[in-house]
Amino acid sequence: MATGMIGQPYTFQVLFLDQNNDPVAVNTPVIEIYHFETDGTKTSLVGPGEPLLPATPAETGRYTYTYTIPDTLIAGDVIYGLMQGVDPGIGILLIVEQTVDLTYEGLSGQTGGMRAHFINYYE
């Protein structure tokens, strides 16, 4: 699982492969970004149907989408990028899902999921 920083851009990327595991430039590459609320309700953040962009530098079959993770989400939340496109050779829909675990930037500028917890210890 990838990690994304709340309030910062995150770039989803996908490499579509054909039935021979060769990179393929798909037709209509799109993304939907969503997450699930605590009650299980799916909330769409982008799309569905938002266009993916060809990667830079160009690479056959590789597409990207940069999304700024909203401050309304919290550390520990997960967002999903559902990316799809149609293989032009055989007309089959190719689907890839990328999962992103969310964290935050610490007060000292350090990143990551470590948090300090203070515990009173009595003898």
Question: Based on the structure, what is the number of domains in the chain?
Answer: 1
Is 122 within the bounds of a domain? no
Is 117 within the bounds of a domain? no
Is 121 within the bounds of a domain? no
**What does the pLDDT read at residue 51?**
97
Each residue's pLDDT tens digit, 102-113: 998 753 344 444
State the pairing for strand pair 53-54/42-51.
unpaired
Q: What is the CATH number of the domain that holds 45?
A: 2.60.40.2300
Is 123 within the bounds of a domain? no
Structure pTM? Answer: 0.82
91 conformational bin, left if phi > 0, alpha if psi -120 to 50, beta if neither: left
pLDDT at 117 over 60: no
Each residue's pLDDT tens digit, 36-72: 999 999 999 998 999 999 999 999 999 999 999 999 9
Is 77 within the bounds of a domain? yes
**Domain encompassing residue 44:** 2-103
Is 108 within the bounds of a domain? no
**Percentage, residues of the chain above pLDDT 90:** 80
Name the residue with higher pLDDT: 32 or 107.
Answer: 32
